[in-house]
Structure 1
C-alpha cells in the first residue's frame, strides 16, 4: 500500500466511485458513527495512508477522538474526553472560512496537539488535515497520515477529496440531527396533545392538577410539584408525583414547608418562560449535591409559571435526577404549563359557575317544606343535565288557613331565561295559593302573567289543594296544565292515576283549567313529579313511566325517603334522557 520515498500518492480511479457511494450513504444512515466508519475505511485505501483520526468539538471543547489504522483487524480506538483532558480547543490557526472546510498539509509534529500522540506512530511523511464546521455550531476534524512525503502536484487532488469527504460527514450529521429534532418535535407535540386531552377530560380542579403531575412523571421528569396561589397570597402545593414511591412523602413535605423552595418559586412565577436551577443555583436548598437525603441526587430543577388569561395561578416544577430527557426543554415545559394553566383556570371557573348555578337553583326551590298537622310532606330534586345551566323544574307547598296547597311545574328549556320564568311561575303560584285561590283559577292567573310577560317558553304545572273533609280525611282539588298526571298510592298499596287535563301555560290567552276532586284517607299518598322521572328511558327506549306505578306500590311504608327512592330508581333505569327530576309527596296521617 505504501510507495517509496518521495513517490506520488495518486487517487485510484475506483476511489471516486467510493466517494459517490459515501454521498449516497450520507442520506440514508441513521447514525453518523456508522458513516464515519465507512469514511475511515475508504480513506485508508488511499496509497500510502497509514492512519486516520477523527475528532469532534462541542461548545469549543474536544468531545472525542477516533483512530483507525491500515491494519484491517485493528480495533477502532476511542479517546473520550473528561474535564481535565489536556486536549485543546478547535484549531483556530486553520482560519476556517465559514462553512467551508479548512484543509492544510503538515508534518507529523505540526498537527493539532490533541491528535499528535495518536498519529506519530503511523506518520513518517505527510499529514493531510481538514477541520470543518457543523450546522449546530460545533466542529469536526479529519487527519490522514501518509507513510511518506506526498508530492506537491498530488496534494490539490487529495485536498479536494478530503474536503468532499468532510462535506459528506457534515451533510449526514445535519440530516441526522434534523431528523432527530423532527422526531423530538413529533414526540413533544404528541405528548402535549395527550396532556391536553387528559386535562380537558376533567372539570375538577384537584383532579386536573393530579393529572398534570401524573402525566409529567416519568414522561418529562423524575418528580413534579404543582403549586397554586391562595386567595390570601400564600403558596400551596396541590399535587405532587415522584418516580420513587418512597420519595413521595419527602417531596410533599418539601413542597409544603421549605422556605428556600417557596422563595425560588415566587421568583420564577414572575418570569414569562420559567427558569432552570442547577449546580450553584441549587445551593442552600433541599436539592443538589450539597443536600441530604432524597434531594441529594437531584441534578436540576425547572420552574414554569402557570399563566392563564393574564393571571399567574401558580407554578409547575419538575425535578431531574438524570442528565437529559428528550422532552425536557423549556419551550415544551412552557407550553405544558400554559395548557395546564388554561385547564386549571377553566376548571376553577367551571367550579365557580357551578356554585353560582347551585345557589340560584336553591333560590328557585323551597328552603324547606312547611309542617302541616295531619300531612307528611317530602320532596327530592336531582339535576339531570351536566351542563352549567339552571333547570326549569320547581315545586313548593303553602298553607292557607286549614288548607295546604302543593304545586309542581316545569319551564321549557334551561338557562337564565328559563330561570327567570321559573321564578315568576313559582312565586306567582305561591302568592295566589297563600291567598286561598283555587287551583284552576291559580293556573289561569299564572297563564295571564306569562302571556303578559310575552314569555317565549311554555310552562307546565300541577296544583293540588288539600282541604279537611268532614269524615276526618282530606279532599284533594287538582288542576293541571299540560303536566304529568299525579299518582295516588292508597294505604293498601294500590296505585291510581288521577286525570288532570289542561292546556300548557303561557300559550293561549283566557284559557280555563278545570278541577278534579278526590278523597284521600289516612295512609294515602299524593305523588307529584316532573317528566324527568317518567321520561327516563332504558336502552330499548322503554320509559320509566310504565315502571313507576309498580315501583311506587312496592315501597312500604311511604315516608320521608320515598321521593329520593323514586328518583334513584329512575336513575338506575335510565340509559337515555338527562332531564331534571323533581318529586313531591304528601302522605295523609291522622287528623289532629
Structure 2
C-alpha cells in the first residue's frame, strides 16, 4: 500500500531552504538590500530611525533564504549601519568603542527576528509540502482504486489496459504509459497512452482515449531496460545520461521514467513502462511504491484475463465438438448455421442438428438446455443422440418430442429441462413442406416477400420437466425465394422477447442472404448488456429460386 508522506522537514531546514535557487537569491538579497538601505540613509531619506529599514532587509533575506541568508543580512546591515550611517567617516576601530552596545543590541534583535522569520517560513513550507504530499497520496490512492475497478469491469484485456494507461497519464505524474509483454521473438505492446500535449510517436496515438494497437518489436530496439528490469525482478529507474538532453526508450524520447516488472508469483509476464518526456525527475520511495502497486494490479489483471481466455477457449472447443461439424446438403435448399458463444467460461446449452431421416426427408432441430457447464453439455449430447435414434423409427415431429420427453425423464434426475424447435423437411414440386412442432422454444420466423412472421403461436411444453406435456404440430409450405429461420433465445434483449427481436431484425434485413442474417443475429447477441450475453444458434433454410 502507499506509504506515509515523506518528512518534509528533511529538505526544508531552519538554516537552509529546500531550493538552492532560493538560498542564492536570499544571499544576494542579504548584500543588496542593506546596500540599498545605506544609499537611502546617506540621502537622508530614512528619517530618525534608519535601523528599521535594515531590520526589514534582514526579514526579507530570512524569508527568502532562511536563517543562513538572514544571518548574512544581519552582519552586512550592522557593518553598513556602523560604517556609513552612525559614523559616516568610516572607521572599523570605532565599532567596538563608541557603538558597540547599540550595534550589539541591533545584531541580537535582528538575528532573533531573522530566526523567527526563518522558522515561520520553514513551518509554512513544511506545511505546504506536507499538504501537497497528502493530496498526492490521496490522488494516487484514488487512481489505484479506479484502476482496480477498471480492470475488474470485464475480461476485455486490451480495452482495460488502455483505460488504465490513460488514467495514469491523466493523473499527471507521467506523460507516457505502456504495458509490454515479453515474447520469445521480441516485446509485444499490449496497450498504451500518452498525454494530449505530447508529440505522437510511432506506437502512440494523440489522445489517451485511443487505444495503442498491439505490435511486436525487437528487444534491442532501445528496449534494453526491459530485460534488465525483468532479470532483476525490481523496478528500474530510467536516468538519461545528460541533464538537458533526452534518451530514447524504444521509439519514445524521455527525460526520466520507471520500468515496473509484472510478476505473478515467480513468473515474469511483462512490464509497465512509465515515462516523463517533460522533465528530469528524481523518484522518491513513494513514487516507486505507487508504481509497484499499479504494476501488481496490471499483472493480476493480465493473468486473470489469460486464465479466463484459456478456460473460454476450452469451453468453445468442447461446445464445437458437440455440434455438427458439417451439415448435409438438401437439394434446392440453401442451409446456413451459425453458433455464437456467450460470455463466460462454461459450455453453453444451445445446440442444433440436421440429418436425413428417409427418402427426400430431413429433420432439423434447434434447442436450448437449461443452464451451462458440464451438466448442460451432457443433456445436450443426450438430446441429440436420442433424437437421432428415435428418428430411425418415428418421423412425426410431435411424436418425436413426446418420445424425447419420456427418454429425458427416464435418464435425467435433476429436472434440467430442454426447449426444442423441431421440424421435418420434404422438398415437393419445387416447394419445401415443413412440419413443425415446438416444445417451449421460440417459434421460427418465416420470410415471405419482405415480410417476417412467426411460423406458429403454439409454443408447447418444455421437455424433461413434466410427464404429461402439451404439444402442437404445424405444417407450412415455402415457395422459391422464401426462407425459415430457427434461433435460440440468445437474440433477445432486456426489453424484447426472442420472437419479437428476431422478427424485427428480419424485417430490417429484407431479402438479405443467410450469412448476413447470421451476422446480424450474432451482433445483436454480442451487444447485449453485461451479464445478459447468452449463447445463440441461428439456422436458416432458404428455398432456391
CA distance in 2, matches of 1:414, 1:236: 35
Structure 2 partner of 1:318: 274
Structure 2 partner of 1:222: 175
Structure 2 partner of 1:370: 328
Deviation at residue 552 of structure 1 after TM alignment: 5.4
2:133 to 177, 181, 192: 181
The yes-or-no answer on 1:479 pairing with 2:443 is: no
DSSP-derived class of the 1:122 partner: helix
2:348 to 385, 391, 396: 391
CA distance in 1, matches of 2:247, 2:422: 74
Deviation at residue 448 of structure 1 after TM alignment: 3.8
1:586 to 516, 541, 544: 541
Structure with bigger helix share is: 2
**Cα offsets for 1:125-170 (capped at 9, x unmatched):** 9xxxxxxxxxxxxxxxxxxxxx735899999999999988887666
1:461 to 392, 413, 420: 420
Deviation at residue 183 of structure 1 after TM alignment: 1.6
CA 1:564/1:434 → structure 2, altered by over 3 Å: closer, same or farther?
Answer: farther
CA distance in 1, matches of 2:348, 2:106: 92
CA distance in 2, matches of 1:550, 1:276: 58
Structure 2: 5+ residue runs without aligned partners? Answer: 1-7, 35-51, 81-98, 205-211
Structure 1 partner of 2:41: none
2:230 to 260, 269, 286: 269
CA 1:480/1:263 → structure 2, altered by over 3 Å: closer, same or farther?
Answer: same
CA distance in 2, matches of 1:569, 1:214: 28
1:184–1:326: 8 Å Cα contact kept in structure 2? no
1:122 to 63, 77, 81: 77
Task: Please give the TM-score of this superposition, normalised by the length of structure 1.
Answer: 0.63
Superposition CA RMSD, Å: 5.2
Structure 2 partner of 1:135: none
DSSP-derived class of the 1:520 partner: strand
The yes-or-no answer on 1:302 pairing with 2:302 is: no
Structure 2 partner of 1:259: 220
The yes-or-no answer on 1:194 pairing with 2:146 is: yes
CA distance in 1, matches of 2:222, 2:510: 61
Structure 1 partner of 2:358: 401
Deviation at residue 463 of structure 1 after TM alignment: 1.9
Aligned positions of 1:58-207 closer than 5 A:
63=23, 65=26, 67=30, 70-71=52-53, 74=57, 76-77=60-61, 118-123=73-78, 148-149=100-101, 174-201=126-153, 203-207=155-159
DSSP-derived class of the 2:320 partner: helix
Structure 2 partner of 1:107: none
1:411–1:460: 8 Å Cα contact kept in structure 2? yes
CA distance in 1, matches of 2:116, 2:199: 56
CA distance in 2, matches of 1:344, 1:259: 24
**Cα offsets for 1:376-407 (capped at 9, x unmatched):** 32334445x54444432221111133220011
Structure 1: 5+ residue runs without aligned partners? Answer: 1-30, 37-53, 82-89, 91-100, 102-111, 126-146
DSSP-derived class of the 1:404 partner: strand
2:435–2:475: 8 Å Cα contact kept in structure 1? yes
1:217–1:223: 8 Å Cα contact kept in structure 2? yes
**Cα offsets for 1:95-154 (capped at 9, x unmatched):** xxxxxx9xxxxxxxxxx8x888644433369xxxxxxxxxxxxxxxxxxxxx73589999
CA distance in 1, matches of 2:320, 2:333: 24
The yes-or-no answer on 1:351 pairing with 2:309 is: yes
Deviation at residue 191 of structure 1 after TM alignment: 2.8
**Cα offsets for 1:524-575 (capped at 9, x unmatched):** 5444333445x5464xxx6464576687578665853474377379779989
Structure 2 partner of 1:56: 16
CA distance in 1, matches of 2:386, 2:270: 48
CA 1:229/1:571 → structure 2, altered by over 3 Å: closer, same or farther?
Answer: closer
CA distance in 1, matches of 2:348, 2:252: 56
2:78–2:106: 8 Å Cα contact kept in structure 1? no
**Cα offsets for 1:467-522 (capped at 9, x unmatched):** 466x675554433322234455567969563465643211234x477663636354
Deviation at residue 430 of structure 1 after TM alignment: 3.5
CA 1:233/1:491 → structure 2, altered by over 3 Å: closer, same or farther?
Answer: closer
1:226–1:238: 8 Å Cα contact kept in structure 2? yes
CA distance in 1, matches of 2:203, 2:460: 69
Structure 1 partner of 2:96: none
2:521 to 564, 567, 570: 567
CA distance in 2, matches of 1:187, 1:393: 47
CA distance in 1, matches of 2:155, 2:452: 45
Structure 2 partner of 1:520: 477
2:318 to 360, 374, 381: 360
2:169–2:176: 8 Å Cα contact kept in structure 1? yes
Structure 1 partner of 2:37: none
2:222–2:249: 8 Å Cα contact kept in structure 1? no
CA distance in 2, matches of 1:572, 1:156: 82
2:328–2:354: 8 Å Cα contact kept in structure 1? yes
CA 1:477/1:55 → structure 2, altered by over 3 Å: closer, same or farther?
Answer: same
Aligned positions of 1:320-339 closer than 5 A:
320=276, 321-324=278-281, 329-339=287-297
Structure 2 partner of 1:422: 380
**Cα offsets for 1:441-467 (capped at 9, x unmatched):** 443443344332313421111221224
Deviation at residue 426 of structure 1 after TM alignment: 2.6
